[in-house]
Structure 1
Amino acid sequence: MKKIFVFAVATGLMSLAACNSSPREQAADNIESNTEAVADNLEDAADDTSNAAAEATLENTAEAVRATGQNQADDMRTNDADTNLSNGI
């Protein structure tokens, strides 16, 4: 019973923490989620192909998509999108 209570409290605290995230953090999380989904689909396609060159290309593309998504999410979290600080403008 004690473990269930601790689990319920922990779940409640995590949901409250998610509600307090900023719109910028939510946008960054969405970017990561979307690019992760695209990369997963590319890897699934790579697994389904019988052509080794196509498989390697799809897997490399999946890695590039993940890296781009991570960079965009990091940029969203650390820079002000309205002032283009990441561009130096």
Structure 2
Amino acid sequence: MKKVILSAVMMLALSTSFVSCRDAADKAAEATEATGDAMNEAGEDLKDMGEDAANKADEIGTDMKEAGNNAIEGTKELGEDAATKMKEAGTEVKDAGTKAVDDAKELGTKTVDGAKELGTKAVDGAKAAGTEVKTSAEEAAAKIKQ
């Protein structure tokens, strides 16, 4: 009987031990599963954060590209405007130079024409004066002869 009681106590101890181990194993499995779920959630969160960061980086890159294109367009327009204004200024300078040359030619022509006219008048005046002097001299000579 001693053996039976001892065997029963031993069986009870073993069964408690197996039940206790089974509970521990169940708890370990639950903890492992919870850890796996937490890791999966953390992985999903990291994945979402990575996608968000990539999207933000893409948006920033697009914005930077647009800003660069706008700057290039603005610079191009400024350059075109400056070139147009420089061309207009060059045309105005050329026109002013042409007008100055034309005015100088006209003034030169008028000066030459005026000089010719004065020269002609001077010659005509000198001829007239010479003729008057001659006529006066002839009249004086005729008076002296008389």
Quick check: TM above 0.5?
no
If you compute each CA radius of gyration, which structure gives the higher value, 1 or 2? 2
Shorter chain as denominator, the TM-score bin is 0.3 to 0.5
The higher relative CO (CA closer than 8 Å, separation ≥ 6) is in 1
